[in-house]
Chains A and B, each alone.
Chain A
Amino acid sequence: MMRFTDLKREAGFVFGHRQIKLTLLVVFLLSTVSLWSGYAEMQEQQATIERLLEKDQIEREAVITHQSNYGMVAYYAFHLTYAPPSPLAFAAVGERDVFPWKHRIRMLALEGQIYESDTDNPELAFLGRFDFAFVTSVLLPLFIILLLYDLKAKEREARRFELLNVTARNAHAIWSARALVTLVPLALVTLIPFVFFGLVNGASLPSILTVCAIVIGNIALWSGIVLSIGAAKRFANFSATHLASIMLGVWIVTTVVVPVTAHTLINAVVETPEGGDIVLTQREAVNSAWDKPVEATWRAFIATHPQWADYTTFNPGRDSSFNWKWYYAFQQVGDQAASELSQGYQAATLQKDTIASYVALLSPSLLSQRLLSSAANTDVKAMVGYENDVRAFHQALRKFYYYHLFKAPEFSQENFEALPQFTPNTKTSHENRTGKEE
């Protein structure tokens, strides 16, 4: 049994080495800088959202006051949709720099709008972000290797190993104490800055604790790997650097080789519709509607919107000079034509992500990164959830406008107070969207 005296003594011993103190300082700096960088970026995103909301509101009001019929308003009025960064997003940028998190949506066919992406500078995305998730998933294992690789090997090489084992009252206590006294401060210098930033950013205590648990779990896992390689009988005669090479090999295989191999295999296995096909199909459907007889469009539209079956006649005298009802109907029909491909595309994205989650079981770094993104709501599921929120909003928008276009009440600006507003989801949903319209 390890006694407190053992811990105290080994603490003094371990910290007597300048190397350890330096390493811990470096980890602390890395943790702090990465957190601060993520925090600043999310603050910026939040400020952007606020600015955009303001302008969005002004724009829309200008359009509403400027126009005189519902069709024109629907054509010109844009709505801002966005996924605000969650309180933990500063720690794990996740997929936020690759998937879009803001759109400006109007009533026109959604499939022509939703794939637009106002994403970040591609060269910066290519270089990758230096965020907390990166530090803890990819770099921290390297530090653990550097700190613990020669725990026993160093003593063996210096021929102190036998002396220690014979002299010690409890030999196991020495090794466990040394490991613990190294790992606990490592966890602390990594996590204390995180807790600080988390509290400042208003993250809930359970979520902060979840992240701490993930990081501690990752540390424990890698420590286990490193210590078991160091203690293995098979490697008992290897030099310390030889052992370190083996551990680095494990790191390379799990952090580099497994993910990229899985990526190649998954892409070969999962069928994905070509994005270009979705937009080409949708465009063809929308544009060919101009040349087809009006009835063809109505047939397709009424099939999914039976409630408007009696309102399809166009009276140029009563309705506006252009047949807006028909126009928006064929926009919707265009979406319907592309919906199979579009759903397939989203399903493929999600399926690949699901398979990746199984692959993560073979790669601690990948697992840790995925868990952190998940906790921060910046993983693939969250971004797809945002996309589905946009789709749901578009549906609400259409419901509003269909009423005003088909039932054709008198145009008045007060009616627009009922215009749906986009509310961002604080709890994202990622269930596959149903095709059923209402």
Chain B
Amino acid sequence: MTANSVISANALSVHIDQRTILDNLNFEVGKGEVFALLGGNGAGKSTTLKTFLGLMKPSTGSASVMGLSVAEHTNEVQKSVAYLPESVTLYGHLSGLENIRYFLSVAGIEKSDDEVFAALRKVALQKASWNNALSNYSKGMRQKTAIALALLRNAPVLFLDEPTSGLDPAAIDEFNALVSELAANGATIFMVTHDVYGACQVAHRIVLLSNGKVTGSFERVGDTPIDTEAVHAAFAGRKA
């Protein structure tokens, strides 16, 4: 583990009921990097995510965030981490604004109205819908609300679970732009996805996960996005 790494997995293994879900994972994510974990269904992506969020304990090895072992310092880690779940079902009966205020309060963070509005503008959520009930939002709009929340928490690390699933191409582009901007501003982003194209656009590092093992690793060179074809071939190739 290099001193620079914000997120690191060190011989991380998770066993449940005699089954090996994760087998000896090793990777690192530095500050300001976007990291994408690619894998098919049942590869172990959710388990990896849960382990870094402190919702699951590693059987052997360790998962660390900001230099702290997640398993041992769960509370502290959770304070510096923001999480965007896959199905962004916040509270349907509350408006976008009310949802954010609620979750900020739950996190024990106080933000002024101006700061909240600024975050909402930053994620480009139309002002007209700020006070509408969340049940009326499209998936993309809900997505933006959740990201605004993550922003307001000023968390140095963001964990995203299948962030682009269900979004139309325009929304995906908006999302990717936002992620790049956040990373440029110093946030470390850990993304779990099976969207090859989107991952290649935005990630500095891509790791392929299959049956709990790392089966491939790609890194961005300079400013050129990672080669989509190569990743796709590697991703699909193992299936053949």
Determine if A166 and B102 form an interchain contact, defined as CB atoms under 8 angstroms apart. Answer: no
Any chain A CB within 8 A of the CB of B78? yes
Chain A interface size range? 10 to 19
Docked-complex contact B87 and A169, CB < 8 angstroms: no
The distance from the CB of A283 to the nearest CB of chain B, in whole angstroms, is 73
Tell me the residues in window 149-163 of chain A with beta carbons closer than 8 Å to chain B beta carbons.
158-160, 162-163
Which one of A9-17, A266-274, A302-310, A353-361 contacts B?
A9-17
Whether A5 sits at the interface, judged by CB under 8 Å, is: yes
Is there an interface contact between A159 and B87, defined as CB atoms closer than 8 Å? yes
Point out the residues of chain B lying under 8 angstroms from A167, CB to CB: 78, 82-83, 103, 106-107, 153
Q: Is the interface of A mostly helix, strand, loop or mixed?
A: helix
Pick the residue among A166, A169, A174 that contacts B55 (CB under 8 A): A166
Find chain A residues with CB under 8 A from B85 CB.
Answer: 159-160, 162-163
- Complex CA gap A164/B90 in Å reads 10
B79→A169 contact, CB < 8 A:
yes
Q: Which of B78, B87, B94 contacts A166 (CB 8 A)?
A: B78
**Cβ-defined contact, A166 with B53, below 8 A:** yes
Q: Are A168's CB and B89's CB within 8 A? A: no
B106 touches A164 (CB 8 A): yes
Docked Cα-Cα span, A17 to B94, in Å, equals 10
Say if the beta carbon of B60 comes within 8 Å of chain A. Answer: no
| Complex: chain B residue closest to A158, CB-CB | B89
Select one of B53, B81, B83, B102 contacting A9, CB under 8 A: B102
Nearest CB on A from B121, distance (A): 22
* Contact mask for chain B residues 77-109; partner A; CB cutoff 8 A; 1 contact, 0 none: 011011101110111011000000011011110
A43 within 8 A of B: no
In the assembled complex, A165 has its CB within 8 A of some CB on chain B: yes
Residues of B within 8 A of A162 (CB): 50, 53, 55, 83, 85
Select from chain B the residue with minimum beta-carbon distance to A170.
Answer: B108
Query: Which partner residue on chain A sits nearest B161 by CB separation?
Result: A162
List chain A residues, Cβ under 8 A from B103. Answer: 163, 167
Is B54 interfacial (CB-CB < 8 Å)? yes
Instruction: Please pick, from B81, B83, B93, the residue contacting A17 in the complex, using a CB distance under 8 A.
Output: B93
For B87, the chain A residues whose CB sits under 8 A away are 159
Per-position 1/0 for A177-198, Cβ under 8 A of B: 0000000000000000000000
Interchain CA distance A166-B84 in the complex, whole Å: 10
Contact in complex: B53, A160 (CB < 8 Å): no
Question: Complex Cα distance A6/B107, Å?
Answer: 10
Q: Nearest-CB distance from A208 to chain B (Å)?
A: 38
Tell me the smallest distance from the CB of B149 to a CB of chain A, in Å.
8
- Interface mask (B106-123 → A, CB under 8 Å = 1, otherwise 0): 111000000000000000
Asked if B89 and A169 sit within 8 Å, CB to CB, the answer is no
**Cβ contact within 8 Å between B107 and A169:** yes
Give Cα distance in the complex from A9 to B78, angstroms: 21
Q: Complex Cα distance A256/B168, Å?
A: 56
Please pick, from A13, A159, A165, the residue contacting B102 in the complex, using a CB distance under 8 A. Answer: A13
Minimum distance in angstroms from A6 CB to a CB of chain B? 8
Determine which residue in A163, A164, A167 has the highest number of CB atoms from chain B within 10 A of its CB, and name it: A167
Residue of B nearest to A5 (CB): B105
Q: Which of A1-48 contact B (CB under 8 A)?
A: 5-6, 9, 13, 16-17
Q: Which residues of A contact B89 (CB under 8 A)?
A: 158-160
Q: State the CA gap A159–B161 with chains docked (Å).
A: 12
Q: Which chain A residues lie closer than 8 Å to B93 at the CB level? A: 16-17
B77 to chain A, nearest CB (A): 10
The smallest beta-carbon distance between A9 and chain B, in angstroms, is 5
**B83 neighbours in A (Cβ, 8 Å):** 162-163, 166-167
User: In the complex, A163→B55 CA distance in Å?
Assistant: 10
Interface residues of A in 336-374 (CB under 8 A from B): none
Q: Which residue of A lies closest to B83 (CB)?
A: A166
A166 (CB) vs chain B CBs: closest residue: B83
**Residues A275-328 near B (CB distance < 8 A):** none
- Measured between C-beta atoms, what is the minimum distance from A324 to chain B in Å? 84
Q: How far is the CB of B228 from chain A (nearest CB, A)?
A: 30
- In whole angstroms, what is the CA distance A160 to B81 when docked? 16
By a CB distance below 8 angstroms, the chain A residues around B55 are: 162, 165-166
Q: Convert B204-216 into 0s and 1s, putting 1 for each residue whose CB lies closer than 8 angstroms to a CB of A.
A: 0000000000000
Interface residues of B in 10-49 (CB under 8 A from A): none
CA distance A169 to B105 in the complex (A): 9
Cβ-neighbour of B90 out of A5, A160, A165 (below 8 A):
A160
Task: Say how far B29's CB is from chain A's closest CB, in angstroms.
Answer: 18
Contacts of A6 in B (CB 8 A): 105
B52 CB to nearest chain A CB (Å): 10
- Docked complex Cα distance between A35 and B166 (Å): 55
Query: Residues of A contacting B107 with CB < 8 Å?
Result: 167-169
For the complex, what is the distance from the CA of A249 to the CA of B60, rounded to whole Å? 42
Chain A: minimal CB distance from B124 (Å): 22
Chain A residues with CB below 8 A from B105, complex form: 5-6, 9
How many angstroms from the CA of A164 to the CA of B50 in the assembled complex? 13
In order of increasing CB-CB distance, the 10 nearest A-B pairs are: A169-B108, A9-B105, A158-B89, A166-B83, A159-B87, A168-B106, A167-B107, A163-B85, A166-B53, A166-B78
Residues of B within 8 A of A (CB): 50, 53-55, 78-79, 81-83, 85-87, 89-91, 93-94, 102-103, 105-108, 153
Can you list 18 A-B contacts with CB-CB less than 8 angstroms, sorted by A residue number? A5-B105, A9-B106, A16-B93, A158-B89, A159-B89, A160-B91, A162-B53, A163-B83, A163-B90, A164-B106, A165-B55, A166-B53, A166-B55, A166-B83, A167-B78, A167-B107, A169-B106, A169-B107
Q: A5-B105, A16-B93 are in contact. List 17 more A-B contacts (CB 8 A).
A: A9-B102, A9-B105, A16-B94, A159-B86, A160-B85, A162-B50, A163-B90, A166-B55, A166-B83, A167-B78, A167-B82, A167-B83, A167-B103, A169-B79, A169-B107, A170-B108, A174-B106
